[in-house]
Structure 1
Amino acid sequence: LGFIKLLLGLRPEQELLVPAGLLSETDREEVDALLASVIEQSMEGIILFDSDGTIKYVNPAIRTITGHAPQEIIGQNISALEGAEVTGQFYRSIWDALSRGDERSGHFIQAGKGGEFYEIDATLWSILDSSGAVSNQAVLIRDVTHEVHLERQLRQAQRMEAIATLAGGIAHDFNNNLASIITCTEMARDDVPPESPLRELLDVVLKSSYRGRKLVKQILTFCCQGEQERQPVQVEPIINECLNLMRASFPTSISVHLHVEEKPGLIMADPTQIHQIIMNLITNAGHAMRIKGGTLDLSIENVGLDTAAVSGALDLPSGRYLKLTVKDTGHGMDASTMERIFDPFFTTKGHTEGTGLGLSVVHGIVRNHGGIITVSSKPGAGATFEIFLPRIEQAQQDQAKESPAPLPKGNERILFVDDEQDVVFAGKLMLERLGYQVVVGSDGLEALGIFREQPEAFDLVITDQTMPRMTGTELTRELMLIRPGIPVILCTGLGPMAEKALREEQDLAGIREIAMKPLDREEMAGIIRRVLSKSEEEQSVYGKDTDHR
């Protein structure tokens, strides 16, 4: 082969691994063939130039890395390739080094023949002949795309860890604010006649507060890899709410249509995540039609496996599904874009318009709910997203329609501890309206002093976890030393990871239950009665103030 002779001429004979005099001609041919095989089969790309910059040889790895066949570039001068729009930087760097006689290495981002981007590390060096003169130049190219992606994933994981720490601190303060807003709004709503226009305004405040609570929890769950609570969900009201939110931002050139099948089924899902799915798809559809306008069609229908299979969702297990379709008449997508549309950080928007996380998050939510999402599109013909989510059984639907039970009340004496004045004010008033006698403490040390004076006067202690001078768990341990068996409810707004850590020491500290802030009145009332009822049962069996857990 001609290229073997070229390769063998790259090094003077005395620089070969075995001196020529020690090998027979047959052995020498075998060594030559082995050397050629090593270069031909190398995973790194090799390009050889003569002193004028004309490409003499490229090994097969160059095609694997760049997508360019050897015959396309062999015989060309390196200077002729530097005008390429994307790859020019690489060849220009080589030509500059050749012109100066430098040896250099560098990192480059290149565009392959198919348009995909890859990253390489390249090293250029000179090859000397037997007289010591430069006879050829060589470039070793290593594809580091995978390594770079791994490094980016590591940096992303480190950023997410930092975000989780930051989110935990923000969530604590934000949840305290939401706690007082929710509690005060619920009590204000009770004081307003049903026919009053203020009632509707307070309902909006409550609804927004509940969504804020769920969004904070979702952020913490996303950062800390926790689990979301699921419940029977009707999708139609969520769609209507999303459309009401987005209509104001849509230009008048975009018309919206919603088609809902009669009696669509329920799904077992987290309502906030379903809200996020719909908001993402509607926002993307609006963005695709923002210039020329168009039509946004949304539909909900019940489907079976066969119907789903016709739509291309072939990997769904047998069962009944709710199908959500979001269709727009925007600019559409080509096949290569659709292949990457659910990849994290992939976006067709500008740097200031999107992060590329929206559809990847949507895809993850749908998968976590046991469903599937498909997309069909053509350039200029809009896009259609179809989501299939498992429908729940009729018995679960009937259970979801049951009316809520009345709020449980009581007359016991409660020590309520929190360092936020608004939370103390709202919590004390709420508990008193439920019939309880309430004494408040502004932090752990103050509450400990109050309890130490009259340890038998309290039936229950409700304390925040994060407080200055003494945490909730530290306070609980001190209370148990004074009066073993006193029921304690620990409240925290720090998210799933903090809850997990607290549950690990729950039994050691004597905590009966951990409550995640912010709680509405119904949740708090239920937790209080559950803890007090269990405490009364224990006292009737084992005797008063004896801890038998």
Structure 2
Amino acid sequence: MGNPFSSLARRLVLLNLPVYLSLGLFLYFFTWHLLSQNLRKELAYRLELLARDLQTSMSNIYFDWQVTGLKQGFPENEVLFLARKEALETLQKKAREGHFLYFVTYQGKKLAGNVSSPEEIVTHSIEYKRFPLTPFYWQVLLGIPLKDYQKAFGKMKGYFWTALGVLVLLSSAFTYLFYLFWVRKPLNRVVKALEERRPLPYSGLREVDLLVQRVQEAMKREEELFRQVAFSEKMSALGVLAGGYAHEFNNLLQVVAGFLELAQLHIAKGQTEAALKALEGARQKAFQGAELSRKLLRLARKSPDYGKESHPLDLMVKNTIDALSTAFPKDIQVSFEAESEGLHVPLSEEEIQEIVSNLLLNAVDALRGCGKVQVTLSQKGEEVELKIEDSGPGIPPELRTRIFEPFFTTKEVGKGTGLGLYVVHQIVVSKGGRIEVGESPLGGACFRVLLPRVEPRPEKKEKKETPKSPVSKEKILIVDDEKEIRENLQAFLRFMELEASLASGAEEALEQLRKEPYGVLFLDLLMPKHDGFWLLEQLEAQNLKFPRKIILMTGYAGELSARIEKWKTRAEVSILKKPFSLKEVKEILGRKV
């Protein structure tokens, strides 16, 4: 049998039943007592009336026969006999009609009765009464049968229990209706909102609203915890790729160092053209390394708008594959084909990276250093399908239902957290999608991610920026904690016939800006103790004159537009990504290249 308390409605009804039954039993015994007392009084009164009626009837019969005897001249003995006979017949008739017991004695002997002895009346009567019938000198014992009383009272009990049963049914029905409209309906709205990932509605009931509040707090904690788990999983994945990235960076550094050493040798021999060619090769490889670091930082950054923006899936998938494939073994071929372009899904860039990186890294890991991974993007009706296939050993059917469970992994101890596919599954399901796993024509596993297609958000019209006015002989201040970067940029400016002052930190720059105004400020964003934004805040707080042009230098790959928006009203703000070239510096200063 199932648990009778598994339903809240059953609990309310069943918990109310003891109350109803206790109330019923109390009413039953209380009513029994009252009815018994009243009924016994009524029966005693009835017996009293019956005795008086018999006394009157017997007296009337006796005197009627005395008159008749005198008129007709009957002997006294005959008159007495006829009077007694009629009196007994009247008594018998009244006993039958009134359903009572009687026993008549005369001079201690039984004269008449519907029982065998007086004791029988005493034993089987609820009430009895002894009285004399004076005209005849009879002793009469009357009693009301107990069985008639029990029958009457049993009938009353039947009515009572029927009424109590109806009361219990009506109360249970009312309790269920209360549960249905005041408990179940509000809870169903909450459950539906949970299923649809909408804000939870309040019902007006204090208990339910308190539950909603606690659930919302738990959901916020769960969301934050999930973000931390997802980010941790991403960092774990990047840790796996660290060796591959380190190899690529070492290759680039080797080429840069080789070109620079060749340039030194060519200069020593007076071979200027060959030296310039070697230096150009080193410069190109340095910027190639900068692009590689941007890809890595793009993967590692933690977006503040996790799950809020929709992005074109083909571009995001391609960027993620490009960033990851750099660190893959050379014998692993990764191909990407987008059958439809410009498809939008309700995922942020970080969520797309999470899905693609986890599935792609699992596929590469399954290939054991050699094989093929094929990524396909297409539209299936109102859904967008992202399919990742590999030529590895595949996933056994008995494990396919478990691979999305948290902490489940088929990898060796220390080589997998068991959270990657769980994170992917949670992201996909939370957006109304689904993920399926099966066999690939390539021979390995095939993961199909199906997500609802959404319309792209209308692009915000960007404000037309005022043309950048070229920098001529304005005072320039360079702020960076790296000495080599300050001096390198200063040398660039000298080639442009511009002079610049230097500051090694935000506090030193603030002192110089207090002494004299500057027209152009090259400002590094990330510095020890105080960053570049601190310097701008101090200029505003101390009401100092802002430079006409502020150029923010950074190697950060994240989005900065939101943070610099407020400063655009105070100055002409631009961003110069590190590493930068002389050409980029000229462009940002509005000078001819």
Q: If the TM-score is normalised by the length of the shorter chain, which range does it land in?
A: 0.3 to 0.5
TM-score by length of 1: 0.45
TM-score by length of 2: 0.43
Structure whose residues are more often strand by fraction: 1
- Rg larger for: 2
